[in-house]
Amino acid sequence: MWWGVGAALIANALYSVGFVVEKRALGSLPALSAGRPFQVIRVLATSPLWIVGALALAAGFGAQLVVYRALPIAAAQGIFVSGLVLLLLLSSAVLGEESTGRERYALGGVLLALLMVVASVREGEDVVSGGAPWTLVLLVCVPALAAGVWLYVRVESRAAKRHRVPTSGIGYGVAVGLLYGVSSLAIKGTSSRLNSTDLGEAALSLLGSPYPYLLLFTAGAGLVMSQAALQRCRASLIVPVCTTVTCLFTAVLGTLAFGESLPDDPLLLALRVGGTALALSVLLAMPRHDPQPAAAS
């Protein structure tokens, strides 16, 4: 279990550094639009600094494969969320971003909610699943992908209206979080298909499942959508929202899809359900728009 915890902490550091480096690079790039995906990829590929950030994120995904082989889904998500603290510190120190008082309280509520989720996990009682029926995984993932893309398009169309108050990025974060939630389940499924010592057998098993194709779609669409959103909004807000949605989606639906049963103990069950409800409530209460800049005197 402890080597899984160590891998999760390494993944946290890689993700935090990767997002902050990407945000720093995006500030010097031309405006990106998710409606022009090939242009987005071409522009990003010209930035050495952005590529460094992307490599850090890719290494974080690799660490996740190790995590899901050692820890139950719900426990892994609780540890991943602890990386928000490092992300907020880095975004303040490197990017100069400052959160409002209301946002800080909201992020504190999110951390409390997800600590409740991870506190509901007991070592030795929660079993790490070895796989899931791929039809059930698709039943969970396809509607989530459709909802994420629909929400992103809706937020884009509303943000494009003239004289509209600038969006804070909550909608973007939720939309991208749904895609990354599907990606997280695909990583979990991929790790379950790599148990065989025969590389050919493992490759055939993996290619015969939906997981590599879900990863390809979420990697491409998530890249374009997340970078366009990250360029417009503060990393200190959009990344925590995205991470929260991803973790909740993975912890709740992933636990059900992969058969990692809910706690039998009433207190532990209350912690898991209550933490999920609190996090969703905080997300709904967060401000949808950034405050208007003060008028010059």
What is the rounded (10 degree) CA torsion for 6, 7, 12, 17? 110
Range with top average pLDDT, 70-84, 166-180, 250-264: 166-180
Both tokens of residue 52? 């460094």
What is the spatial distance between Cα 276 and Cα 118, in angstroms, rounded to a whole number?
Answer: 11
**pLDDT for 52:** 95
- For residue 170, give every residue at least 6 positions away whose Cβ sits within 8 Å of its Cβ, in sequence order, or none: 237, 238, 241, 283, 286, 287, 288
Instruction: Look at residue 296 in the predicted model and tell me its pLDDT.
Output: 41
Residue 261 has what pLDDT?
Answer: 67
- Given a cut of 60, is residue 126 above it in pLDDT? no
Three-state SS sequence of 145-176: HHHHHHHHHHHHHHHCCCCCCCECCHHHHHHH
Residue 195 neighbours by CB distance under 10 Å: 12
What average pLDDT does the chain have? 78
Mean pLDDT, rounded, for 134-150: 89
- Higher per-residue pLDDT: 205 or 182: 182
pLDDT in the model for residue 45: 92
> Does the pLDDT of residue 166 top 60, yes or no?
no
Query: What tokens does 74 get?
Result: 């719900």
User: What average pLDDT does range 168-196 have in this prediction?
Assistant: 82
Q: Note the pLDDT of residue 135.
A: 81
Phi, psi of 289 (to 5 degrees): -135, 150
Confidence of residue 294 (pLDDT cuts 50, 70, 90): very low
Check residue 122 and give its pLDDT: 64
Buried b or exposed e, range 112-136, using 16+ CB within 10 angstroms: ebbebbbebbeeeebebbebbebee
In this predicted model, which residue has the larger pLDDT, 63 or 48? 48
Amino acid present at 152: Y
Pull the structure tokens for residue 97: 């971003």
d(CA 163, CA 92): 29
Higher-confidence position of 124 and 198: 198
What is the average pLDDT across 176-181? 92
Q: What 3-state DSSP class applies to 167?
A: strand
pLDDT in tens, 84-120: 777 777 877 777 776 666 666 777 777 787 677 667 7
pLDDT surpassing 90 at residue 143: yes
- Residue 284's pLDDT band, with cuts at 50, 70 and 90, is low
| Alpha-carbon separation of residue 262 from 185, 204, 279 (angstroms) | 17, 32, 18
pLDDT for the residue 103: 62
pLDDT at 100: 64
Give SS3 for 284: helix
**Average of pLDDT values for 178-198?**
79
Mean predicted confidence (pLDDT) in 207-211: 82
The better pLDDT of the pair 126, 51 is held by 51
Give residue-wise pLDDT tens across range 267-280. Answer: 888 887 787 777 66
% of the chain exceeding 70 in pLDDT: 77
Neighbours of 217 (CB within 10 A): 16
d(CA 263, CA 214): 29
pLDDT exceeds 60 at position 290: no
Count of all residues that appear for the chain in the document? 297
| pLDDT tens digit sequence for 239-267 | 878 888 887 888 778 777 777 666 778 88
